[in-house]
Protein backbone atom coordinates (compact mmCIF):
# COMPACT_ATOMS: atom_id res chain seq x y z
CA UNK A 1 0.00 0.00 0.00
CA UNK A 2 1.51 3.35 -0.98
CA UNK A 3 2.18 5.99 1.64
CA UNK A 4 -0.72 8.41 2.13
CA UNK A 5 0.02 11.69 3.95
CA UNK A 6 -3.64 12.25 4.81
CA UNK A 7 -3.68 9.17 7.03
CA UNK A 8 -2.26 9.97 10.45
CA UNK A 9 0.09 7.38 11.91
CA UNK A 10 -1.27 5.36 14.82
CA UNK A 11 -0.03 6.48 18.19
CA UNK A 12 1.25 3.73 20.43
CA UNK A 13 -0.55 3.26 23.72
CA UNK A 14 2.60 1.74 25.22
CA UNK A 15 4.83 3.70 27.58
CA UNK A 16 7.68 5.24 25.61
CA UNK A 17 11.09 3.76 26.40
CA UNK A 18 9.60 1.06 28.64
CA UNK A 19 11.06 -2.41 28.14
CA UNK A 20 8.06 -4.74 27.94
CA UNK A 21 10.39 -7.73 27.99
CA UNK A 22 11.62 -6.98 31.50
CA UNK A 23 10.41 -8.87 34.53
CA UNK A 24 7.18 -7.59 36.03
CA UNK A 25 3.44 -8.05 36.36
CA UNK A 26 1.14 -6.98 33.54
CA UNK A 27 -2.66 -6.79 33.36
CA UNK A 28 -3.90 -7.49 29.83
CA UNK A 29 -7.20 -7.09 28.03
CA UNK A 30 -7.59 -8.55 24.54
CA UNK A 31 -10.86 -7.75 22.73
CA UNK A 32 -12.64 -9.68 20.00
CA UNK A 33 -13.06 -8.09 16.59
CA UNK A 34 -16.02 -5.70 16.63
CA UNK A 35 -16.72 -6.88 20.20
CA UNK A 36 -18.35 -10.06 18.91
CA UNK A 37 -19.30 -12.51 21.69
CA UNK A 38 -17.22 -15.36 20.26
CA UNK A 39 -16.31 -17.13 23.48
CA UNK A 40 -19.67 -17.76 25.15
CA UNK A 41 -22.44 -16.03 27.09
CA UNK A 42 -23.26 -14.77 30.56
CA UNK A 43 -26.00 -16.81 32.28
CA UNK A 44 -27.19 -15.85 35.76
CA UNK A 45 -24.03 -13.87 36.42
CA UNK A 46 -21.66 -16.67 35.37
CA UNK A 47 -19.56 -16.95 32.24
CA UNK A 48 -20.55 -19.99 30.19
CA UNK A 49 -17.78 -20.71 27.70
CA UNK A 50 -18.64 -22.30 24.39
CA UNK A 51 -16.21 -24.53 22.49
CA UNK A 52 -14.35 -21.47 21.17
CA UNK A 53 -14.15 -20.10 24.71
CA UNK A 54 -12.67 -23.41 25.84
CA UNK A 55 -10.08 -23.09 23.08
CA UNK A 56 -9.24 -19.55 24.22
CA UNK A 57 -8.95 -20.86 27.80
CA UNK A 58 -6.70 -23.76 26.78
CA UNK A 59 -4.47 -21.52 24.64
CA UNK A 60 -4.06 -19.12 27.57
CA UNK A 61 -3.01 -21.98 29.84
CA UNK A 62 -0.45 -23.05 27.21
CA UNK A 63 1.38 -19.69 27.25
CA UNK A 64 4.11 -20.86 29.70
CA UNK A 65 4.83 -23.86 27.44
CA UNK A 66 5.74 -21.44 24.65
CA UNK A 67 7.40 -18.84 26.86
CA UNK A 68 8.93 -20.25 30.06
CA UNK A 69 9.46 -16.71 31.41
CA UNK A 70 5.66 -16.23 31.54
CA UNK A 71 3.87 -17.05 34.79
CA UNK A 72 0.08 -16.94 34.64
CA UNK A 73 -1.94 -15.38 37.44
CA UNK A 74 -5.67 -14.63 37.46
CA UNK A 75 -7.43 -14.68 34.09
CA UNK A 76 -10.91 -15.00 32.68
CA UNK A 77 -12.36 -15.59 29.25
CA UNK A 78 -15.39 -13.33 28.76
CA UNK A 79 -17.85 -13.44 25.83
CA UNK A 80 -15.99 -10.80 23.81
CA UNK A 81 -12.66 -10.29 25.56
CA UNK A 82 -9.98 -11.85 27.74
CA UNK A 83 -8.57 -10.40 30.96
CA UNK A 84 -5.40 -11.79 32.49
CA UNK A 85 -2.38 -11.08 34.61
CA UNK A 86 0.93 -12.31 33.27
CA UNK A 87 4.16 -12.15 35.20
CA UNK A 88 7.39 -12.10 33.24
CA UNK A 89 10.41 -13.54 35.01
CA UNK A 90 13.30 -13.10 32.61
CA UNK A 91 15.96 -13.64 35.26
CA UNK A 92 16.98 -16.93 33.63
CA UNK A 93 17.26 -15.49 30.13
CA UNK A 94 20.67 -13.98 29.33
CA UNK A 95 20.49 -10.22 28.68
CA UNK A 96 21.87 -10.54 25.15
CA UNK A 97 18.98 -12.87 24.26
CA UNK A 98 16.28 -10.49 25.53
CA UNK A 99 16.74 -7.57 23.17
CA UNK A 100 16.95 -7.14 19.43
CA UNK A 101 18.21 -4.31 17.30
CA UNK A 102 15.79 -1.45 16.74
CA UNK A 103 15.38 -2.28 13.05
CA UNK A 104 13.92 -5.64 13.99
CA UNK A 105 10.27 -5.73 14.93
CA UNK A 106 9.06 -7.62 17.93
CA UNK A 107 11.30 -8.27 20.92
CA UNK A 108 11.39 -12.02 21.67
CA UNK A 109 10.01 -13.01 25.08
CA UNK A 110 8.29 -9.63 25.42
CA UNK A 111 4.69 -9.06 26.38
CA UNK A 112 3.87 -8.25 22.74
CA UNK A 113 5.34 -11.53 21.52
CA UNK A 114 3.28 -13.46 24.09
CA UNK A 115 0.08 -11.69 23.05
CA UNK A 116 0.89 -12.25 19.38
CA UNK A 117 1.41 -15.98 19.92
CA UNK A 118 -1.80 -16.29 21.91
CA UNK A 119 -3.85 -14.46 19.31
CA UNK A 120 -2.35 -16.60 16.54
CA UNK A 121 -3.23 -19.82 18.38
CA UNK A 122 -6.86 -18.84 18.95
CA UNK A 123 -7.21 -17.45 15.41
CA UNK A 124 -5.87 -20.68 13.90
CA UNK A 125 -8.47 -22.65 15.83
CA UNK A 126 -11.26 -20.39 14.53
CA UNK A 127 -10.07 -20.66 10.93
CA UNK A 128 -9.95 -24.45 11.15
CA UNK A 129 -13.29 -24.82 12.93
CA UNK A 130 -15.51 -21.98 11.73
CA UNK A 131 -16.11 -19.44 9.00
CA UNK A 132 -14.78 -16.63 11.22
CA UNK A 133 -11.63 -15.03 9.85
CA UNK A 134 -11.20 -11.99 12.09
CA UNK A 135 -11.13 -12.93 15.75
CA UNK A 136 -9.26 -10.09 17.44
CA UNK A 137 -9.37 -6.34 17.63
CA UNK A 138 -6.05 -4.78 16.68
CA UNK A 139 -3.60 -4.31 19.51
CA UNK A 140 -4.36 -4.96 23.19
CA UNK A 141 -4.62 -3.04 26.42
CA UNK A 142 -2.02 -3.45 29.13
CA UNK A 143 -1.38 -2.00 32.53
CA UNK A 144 1.88 -2.40 34.43
CA UNK A 145 1.11 -3.59 37.94
CA UNK A 146 3.45 -1.66 40.19
CA UNK A 147 2.47 -2.68 43.75
CA UNK A 148 0.57 -5.20 45.84
CA UNK A 149 -2.50 -3.00 46.24
CA UNK A 150 -2.89 -2.67 42.47
CA UNK A 151 -2.33 -6.42 42.07
CA UNK A 152 -4.99 -7.22 44.67
CA UNK A 153 -7.51 -4.82 43.11
CA UNK A 154 -6.98 -6.17 39.59
CA UNK A 155 -7.04 -9.81 40.77
CA UNK A 156 -10.33 -9.17 42.56
CA UNK A 157 -11.75 -7.50 39.44
CA UNK A 158 -10.84 -10.53 37.33
CA UNK A 159 -12.17 -13.06 39.87
CA UNK A 160 -15.45 -11.15 40.25
CA UNK A 161 -16.07 -10.92 36.52
CA UNK A 162 -18.78 -11.11 35.19
CA UNK A 163 -20.70 -10.43 38.41
Domain ranges of the chain: 24-160
CA-to-CA dists, residue 83 to 20, 100, 109, 161, angstroms: 18, 28, 20, 9
Is the pLDDT confidence value at 48 over 80? yes
Q: What percent of the chain has pLDDT over 70?
A: 79
CATH number of 24-160: 3.30.70.1290
Phi, psi of 36 (to 5 degrees): -70, 140
Structure-model confidence comparison of residues 15 and 163, the more confident one: 163
Predicted TM-score (pTM) of this structure? 0.84
Q: What percent of the chain has pLDDT over 90?
A: 71
Q: In angstroms, rounded to a whole number, what is the distance separating the alpha carbons of residues 143 and 103? A: 26
- pLDDT band for position 104 (cuts 50, 70, 90): very low
Lateral strand order in the sheet of 70-77: 70-77, 81-88, 24-31, 141-145
Amino acid sequence: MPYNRSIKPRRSIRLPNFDYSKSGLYFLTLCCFERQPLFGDIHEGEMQRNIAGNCAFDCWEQIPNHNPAAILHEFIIMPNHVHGIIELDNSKIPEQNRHVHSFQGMIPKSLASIVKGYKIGVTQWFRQNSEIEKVWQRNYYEHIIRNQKAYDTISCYIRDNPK
